[in-house]
Structure 1
């Protein structure tokens, strides 16, 4: 199956139901630390993450993916950092580079916002996501071993990041060399 070129855009309030459905349809312990949501379903957009915190991939007028970009904390000391806090691609659209397109769009958006770093957290057993992030320049900056108990197995929480501008060190080894 060949996909047409996706439209990457900011989410709008009318995307709430489609994004909520996408989250439910793609839910898996491979990437989720919360149990599967049960009805009644909560709105996708919240006070913390609204439409402008999401970039959406749309194909032929249908929402097929999103990436959430936020701040890692509310502290002024981390205002220069953006964090990818969610990524989903519909099963029907996987394998065609949409995840990569969304990650690149998030990195571009972080740069537009003046961020000097972008970070994320990924589950250690999520090999496809880790390979994607590594291919897009993210490096492992830390591992919290066995941080989550998911579906009867202990899973690592892998912290990844990359520098977006001058004067920000990728890691302590680069700084000390």
Structure 2
């Protein structure tokens, strides 16, 4: 398995992988309208999509999104966001998520980012396990409710020099 930047002709497969993974975990039930936004992340020029691949098979994906004027949770140029973290159901339990998060952290270091922030649904237990294992901590004051009944929990990793 290698983790690398997505190739231009792989974006449709990445979008499908995201949707499949989120549906498999029941994560789109509370907000079915999020499907299109999830599929489109990275196509607007904000962010860098990384993939874990084995040969020509995509196993998972994560997006590194440096702060910009329309950032969801990042508050300044010293922060970047994790977006659209997804591992294909058939690839789970193989270290794919850990490899993707580690690659994103290294990417943030390359960009001299001080903090990596993210939002997670309470149901994203597996993702939260990976985040906590990498050193992310809950930041309750940044929790957000984008619509009634949809609560997003904030996490942050502070990078040391």
After superposition, the CA RMSD in angstroms is 2.6
**Pairing of 1:54-133 with structure 2 (within 5 A):** 54-74=49-69, 78-133=76-131
Which runs of 5 or more structure 1 residues have no equivalent in the other structure? 1-5, 167-177
| Whole-Å separation in 1 of the counterparts to 2:64 and 2:41 | 14
Compare the two structures and name the one with the higher helix fraction: 2
**Pairing of 1:8-27 with structure 2 (within 5 A):** 8-27=3-22
Aligned residues of 1:69 and 1:83 also touching (Cα < 8 A): yes
Partner of 1:162: 157
Which runs of 5 or more structure 2 residues have no equivalent in the other structure? none
**Pairing of 1:13-52 with structure 2 (within 5 A):** 13-28=8-23, 30-32=26-28, 34-35=31-32, 37=35, 45-49=42-46
Q: Which secondary structure state, in structure 2, belongs to the residue aligned with residue 114 of structure 1?
A: coil
TM-score, length basis structure 1: 0.73
| Whole-Å separation in 1 of the counterparts to 2:145 and 2:50 | 31
> How many residues are paired up?
151
The Cα of 1:54 is off from its aligned counterpart by 0.8
Radius of gyration: which is bigger? 1
TM-score, length basis structure 2: 0.80
